[in-house]
Structures are given as C-alpha cells and as structure tokens.
C-alpha cells in the first residue's frame, strides 16, 4: 500500500524537532496553517480530527498538543502495540490507519470555526473517502460530526449511514479539555471501534451515504 502525506505548502519549513516545544512566536505564526494528511489508499480506518491546534501546526504533526489523548487512546484501544509519539505518525500508515481533519486551518480553539467551515469540511472529507476508499472513517468529536453532516441527534458510536461507501463511527474528541471522558473511557471507545472493524462491517450493508446538511 503506497503511503503518502498530502502536500502542504503552508507547512513550516523546519517543524520543531521531537521533544522541543514551540515558542510563543512559533505558535502565533502557525495560525491558519495546515498539517499534511496521513492518508493512503485502502486504509482500515481513517481518523478525522476537527482541525489542527496551533501546537500541531507549529510542529507539523497531528494531535501533538501536550494533553491530547489521541495517541494514548489509540494504544489503549489496541490499534498500536506501543504508545506512539506524534512525530511517529507515519507508523500508522504501515498499520492501515490514517489521519485527516474536517477543517484544515489551525486555530487556538475549535470555537473559532464557523458552521459553514464544518459543512464544507464534511464535503471535502467525503471526497477524500471516495478517492482513497478506507474501510471505515472515525470522526473524533460528536459536535463536529453533527455540524458537518447535519445530524443534530447523532450519538457517539457507529452511525446508521455510511460515508462515501465507508463505515462511519463517531468517537469522542480526544482533547484533554473534554472532561466527559476519562482516558480509560476514551480508550474503551477506540477498542469498540477496533473490535467492530475486526469483525467486519460496522453496521448493516446497504445504508444510505451521509449527506452534509441532511437532517
């Protein structure tokens, strides 16, 4: 499976080396930048965050902000055999896993995003799924999913519709600010997804595709 990072002209030319925290100036300069997708054809799961943090954009790696629980949840849920660090993201592609975002631009908080950005992001996500054909898509954040696809009553877990032919699952936002889920509870949600995809399609076949804006 050819692994690739999507090109990103806005990526900083010299991302902070592993272990070094970006300066306040580097964080400010990262506003509006993007982090390259970790994506390849035929992935087992394409994880989809909301949008990059300033920290992630500054260092050029997904879910890099200290306190973000994505990487521990991935390990705790059994997707990886050790705790990967954000700069080791390319290891995911070898495992058939990838990462993208609903909205590409980095902000200090997801509250800075406009509703129209979520809807447009949902359309772009569907296009990526059609192009790369992952078996499953896991969107990390129930509010983001509701806004991007007009599913105001959606809940965390498997969804009744597919997304461009891929099984669709919503996981909790792994941000350390999400107090609704402990690290153990978050890892359990990841484990449920892993076990579901290991057993076959996440839901019944023949489900309608998710369509942005449809209630």
Model confidence pLDDT, tens digit, residues 102-130: 999 999 999 999 999 999 999 999 999 99
In order, the DSSP letters of 19-52 are TPPPPHHHHHHTTT-----EE-TT-SEEEEES--
CATH classification for the domain delimited by 31-198, as one of 3.40.190.10, 3.40.470.10, 3.40.30.160, 3.10.180.10 = 3.40.470.10
**Backbone region of residue 132 per phi and psi (left: phi > 0; alpha: psi in -120 to 50; beta: other values):** alpha
- Helix, strand, or coil here: 100? strand
pLDDT for the residue 20: 79
pTM for the model = 0.86
Spell out the domain ranges in the chain. 31-198
137-172 pLDDT tens trace:
999 999 999 999 999 999 999 999 999 999 999 999
Looking at the predicted structure, is the pLDDT value of residue 60 above 90? yes
23-46 pLDDT tens trace:
999 999 999 999 999 999 999 999
pLDDT band at 203; cut points 50, 70, 90? very low
């Amino acid at each position: 499976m050819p692994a690739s990072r999507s090109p990103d002209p806005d990526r900083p030319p010299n991302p902070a080396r592993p272990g070094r925290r970006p300066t306040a100036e580097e964080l400010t300069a990262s506003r509006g930048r993007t982090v390259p997708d970790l994506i390849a054809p035929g992935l087992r799961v394409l994880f989809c965050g909301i949008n990059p943090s300033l920290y992630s954009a500054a260092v050029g790696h997904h879910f890099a902000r200290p306190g973000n629980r994505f990487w521990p949840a991935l390990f705790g849920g059994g997707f990886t055999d050790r705790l990967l660090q954000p700069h080791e993201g390319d290891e995911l592609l070898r495992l058939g896993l990838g990462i993208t975002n609903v909205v590409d631009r980095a902000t200090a908080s997801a509250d800075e995003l406009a509703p129209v950005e979520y809807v447009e992001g949902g359309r772009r996500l569907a296009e990526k799924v059609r192009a790369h054909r992952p078996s499953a898509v896991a969107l990390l954040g129930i509010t983001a999913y509701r806004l991007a696809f007009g599913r105001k009553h959606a809940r965390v877990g498997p969804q009744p519709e597919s997304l461009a032919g891929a099984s669709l699952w919503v996981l909790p936002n792994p941000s350390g600010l999400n107090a609704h889920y402990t690290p153990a509870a978050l890892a359990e949600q990841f484990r449920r997804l892993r076990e579901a995809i290991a057993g076959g399609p996440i839901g019944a076949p023949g489900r309608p595709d998710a369509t942005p804006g449809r209630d």
